[in-house]
Amino acid sequence: MARMRAKKHLPERMARCTERWFEDPKANKGKWREVCGFPSDCEVFLEVGCGKGKFCTEMAPRFPNALYIALERDPSVCLLAIEKAHRAEIPNLFFIQADANFLEEYFEEDELNRIYLNFSDPWTRQNKPKRRLTYRTFLEQYKKLMKKGGSVLFKTDNDELFDFSVEEFKECGFELSEYTRDLHNSEWDKDNVRTEFEQKFADQGINIKRVVATY
Least distance to ligand SAH, CB of residue 113, Å: 19
User: Is 121 a known active-site residue?
Assistant: yes
Contact call for residue 50 and ligand SAH (CB under 6 A): yes
One of 9, 26, 64, 101 touching ligand SAH (CB under 6 A): 101
| 198 binding ligand SAH? (CB under 6 A) | yes
Contacts 24+ apart (CB under 8 A), 72-78: 72/96, 72/97, 73/49, 73/97, 73/98, 73/99, 73/100, 74/3, 74/4, 75/6, 75/7, 75/10, 76/4, 76/5, 76/6, 76/7, 76/10, 77/4, 77/51, 77/52, 78/50
Residue of the chain from 21, 25, 72, 132 that contacts ligand SAH (CB under 6 A): 72
Beta carbons of 206 and 179 less than 8 angstroms apart? no
Question: What minimum distance in Å lies between the beta carbon of 187 and ligand SAH?
Answer: 22
Of the two residues 2 and 149, which places its CB atom closer to ligand SAH in the complex? 2
Kindly indicate which of the ranges 13-21, 38-46, 49-57, 160-168 contains the residues binding ligand SAH, using the contact rule CB under 6 A: 49-57
Minimum CB distance to ligand SAH smaller for 37 or for 88:
88
Contact between 143 and 109 (Cβ < 8 Å)? no
Collapse the DSSP code of 87 into the 3-class scheme (helix H, G, I; strand E, B; otherwise coil) and give the result.
Answer: helix
Interacting positions 122-151 with ligand SAH (CB under 6 A): 122
Q: What residues are annotated to the active site? A: 121
